Amino acid sequence: MQAVLRWMRAEDDPLRLPSRLFWVGLALRVAYITLAHTYKIRLILDHFQFGWEMGRIARSLATGYGFANPFNGHSGPTAWTPPLYPLLLAGVFKVFGVYTLKSAWVILTINSIFSAATGCAVYEIAWRCFGRDAKGLKVALWSGWLWALYPAAMQYAVHWVWDMALTALLFSWVLVLALRVRAVGDPTETNPQSARRWLLFGVLWGVIALSNSSLLTFLPACGLWMVWPELTGLPRHVLRALRNAVLAAVCCLAMLAPWVARNWYTFHAFIPMRANLGAELYQSVLQTNDGFPWGGTLSLAEADPEFQRYEHMGEVAFSKAQGERAKEIIRRDPRTFARHAALRVFFFWVSVPHPVEKSVFIEATREANYAFLSLAGLLGLALALHRRVPGAWLFFWAFALFPLIYYFITVQARFRHPLEPIITVLAVYLFQSAELPSEKRRRLAEAHA
């Protein structure tokens, strides 16, 4: 048993631990997928739960109809979702079959690779912010293993055919890169603000935008946090900061250019990321939904008048029209819109409504776990800010800015997942910072000795 604990602590070289975190986390996730048969996705609504809109687009791509048809039937070209995950899923469909058990197992395993690799980022974020001494490495150790082994951290990888695991991975490594650029945890770094790192920063944000464009609300604050020491330094440092920011921006825009060009050519309109904002907003402001749409944004029934309207108008015109309808509702009753936005803030951090599928006890446990993680992460962030932990303000802006778009449109439990790696780190830091009364008395006695 002690040998296992030493192996988990990697006492011979703490920086070798990430590989162990990755392989253990991956093995556990793949074993769960295989033994719990989570790859046997329900067949209702013609396999719609196999990736929902992204699954439909992937099917369209794999069967030769292009990036189109996010619902049922052949409704035409789409920009309903960003392209990265549907393209990945389409590749799986092409090799292993559309909506097959093999494809389900493969894509969930790929999700698990993303999720397990996030544990390596969690570990590095923790030791960079809290140090490589015994206390800092303890926070990193517990954070890394918690991410690798805790069921809530792996649920979206092993159950959901969607982009959550990929987006959490990319977002976590952007935070790692930001900490590296600021030389957090490694003050001996000779050239942290290198052009190479800034180019990688631009690439990562381009990939994030193509995976989940909602995260872009955090991009300006992240970039500003990274260059802030340069902007307050010597003039040559300011020039270097501007050069690096321009390099990153050009690189990011180059990553997005093919998607934007495709949308311009297809829809004759400038659509930088997605075309469904108006449709989603309209669903969120309907009085019948009370601020929280339970069903899909659009009916899957091809005979439904609203679906026929979408099909007849085309996606861009339909979404624009829905957006105008939503704005009119907001203008008539702004107080209700504000109340619903406040309600979604509560849902995002405390508990998202969820149908009771198995038992009241299981649902209560799910809600308590969700709220507990948010509370622990927020308290850990407050403690880190109070103690001026390096990187704490970066995390603050992530918590403050990333959820904004969800507050005003719609929210689901899975939308919090990109923040959960740093929630894990901050929650562990909070509890590792607690002192027993005997330890506190001993520390005070030593201070007065």
| Angstrom distance (rounded) from CA 213 to CA 206 | 9
- pLDDT at position 366 is 80
- C-alpha span between 201 and 181 (Å, rounded): 10
Whole-number pLDDT of residue 150: 92
**pLDDT tens digit sequence for 188-208:** 878 888 999 999 999 999 999
CA-wise closest residue to 51 among 42, 119, 134? 42
pLDDT digits (tens, 9 = 90+) for 253-312: 999 999 999 999 999 999 999 999 999 999 999 888 777 777 778 888 888 898 999 999
Backbone angles phi, psi at 84, to 5 degrees: -65, -55
**Tokens of residue 98, six digits:** 């559309």
pTM reported for the whole predicted model? 0.93
| Predicted pLDDT of residue 4 | 46
Rounded Cα distance between 409 and 413, Å, is 14
* Structure tokens, 8: 């988990």
What pLDDT, on a 0 to 100 scale, did the predictor assign at position 5?
A: 46
Looking at residue 381, its pLDDT comes to 97
- Return the DSSP state at 295: S
pLDDT tens sequence across 386-395? 999 999 999 9
b/e per residue, 246-277, with b = 16+ CB within 10 A? ebbbebbeebbeebeebbeebbeeebebbbbb
DSSP conformational letter for 310: H
Sites in the chain below the pLDDT cut of 50: 1, 4-5, 7, 11-12
Q: Would you list the DSSP string of 432-443?
A: HT---HHHHHHH
Residue 62's pLDDT is what?
97
3-class DSSP state for residue 327?
Answer: helix
Cα-Cα end-to-end distance for the chain:
39
Nearest CA among 325, 329, 426 for reference residue 373: 426
